[in-house]
Amino acid sequence: MAKKGHPSARKAKKPPTTGTGGHGRRALEGKGPTPKAEDRSWHPAGKRKAAKERLDTAKARHGSTTPSSVRRPVRPLVSDGELVTGRNAVIEALRAKIPATTLHLATKIDMDDRVRESLALANKRGIPLLEIPRPELDRIAGKDTVHQGIALSVPAYQYPHPLELAEKAEKGSTPPIFVALDGITDPRNLGAIVRSVAAFGGSGVIVPKRRSAGVTATAWKTSAGAIARTPVALAANLTQTLKAFQERGYFVVGLDGGAEGFVPGADIADAPLVIVVGSEGKGLSKLVTETCDLILSIPISNKAESLNAGIAASVVLYEVARQRFSKKKS
């Protein structure tokens, strides 16, 4: 051991005059386990957890069990009408001169001949053009709807009352002809029947309020614009409406494949007529059948079970027009 005062003797360490105050020591201490992803507010999992907690709180407050009750409702673009989507459908609607309020076009749409013609037709008719982002068009067109970047807003059809049409038609020189639909739910059949009524000089079409096709964009296209010239009336109760027409002197004829009488042999051209057409599968309902003055059928081959409703109406309308023309000629 070196003697005290010897150069090789160790000197006692003096405490530092300044230091970190232990910061370095605390920095080396562990911070505990890493928080779970859902416990970190900045992590996507944490944001999902926070959103779920807010949703659960909203459920408890409003007493709802479905997430849709707390979502903000989507505002529809066409509140009083519908939307025709797709390039072919839009151009056909514009060619048929279907009433329209707005032509919607997605931004940066791939222009082709159909889009150019649609724009030209809309501009010619004075239909406003609205260019919107494609996500917005996706939203307003509806889920799983293939719009191809173009859509046409069609306003809701204003249905007149059946008796109003009767009063207007009775002022003409020829006996009126109306076609009433019973249980026909396909708008294409409605459009075809309206087109036939217009072709053979009919006065209008009557549809019931329930379980029946309405005037939609599909009906407009099928009618080739004939709905603009031949009105479609809405009956709250078809049976009561037929009785009201009978009180006005109309002869109500129902079409049924099982009837014994045939359309070609019936002399029905002189009186004002209401021709009732049922659905292809079920036919006329019981109450409507009991209300009709006469039930007729169209003779067809055994190879076919029945006729389409639109074709059946066309055959009867042609027969009535033929009888009237023959009597006028004679």
- Cα-based distances in Å from 37 to 52, 146, 287: 15, 39, 67
Report d(CA 71, CA 295) in Å as an integer.
Answer: 54
Give the mean model confidence (pLDDT) for residues 94-119.
88
- What is the per-residue pLDDT for 58? 65
Which of these three, 155, 186, 209, is where a domain ends?
155
Under the banding of pLDDT at 50, 70 and 90, the label for residue 6 is: low
pLDDT at 55 over 60: yes
Whether the CB-CB separation of 87 and 118 falls below 8 Å is answered with: yes
- Cα-based distances in Å from 292 to 64, 138, 274, 323: 51, 48, 9, 21
> By residue range, what is the domain housing residue 182?
162-329
Looking at the fold, whether 294 and 151 belong to one and the same domain comes out as no
Looking at the fold, whether 172 and 118 belong to one and the same domain comes out as no
Give the mean model confidence (pLDDT) for residues 156-169.
90
Under the banding of pLDDT at 50, 70 and 90, the label for residue 20 is: low
pLDDT at 102 over 80: yes
Looking at the fold, whether 174 and 311 belong to one and the same domain comes out as yes
Report d(CA 308, CA 94) in Å as an integer.
Answer: 27
Report d(CA 129, CA 81) in Å as an integer.
Answer: 17
Looking at the fold, whether 142 and 168 belong to one and the same domain comes out as no
Q: Within a domain: residue 181?
A: yes
**Structural tokens at position 315:** 């055959």
Which of these three, 155, 170, 194, is where a domain ends?
155
pLDDT at 150 over 70: yes
What CATH number does residue 105 fall under? 3.30.1330.30
Whether the CB-CB separation of 49 and 38 falls below 8 Å is answered with: yes
| Domains contained in the chain, number | 2
Give the mean model confidence (pLDDT) for residues 130-154.
85
pLDDT in tens, 216-271: 878 887 887 788 788 999 999 999 999 999 999 998 988 887 666 667 767 777 88
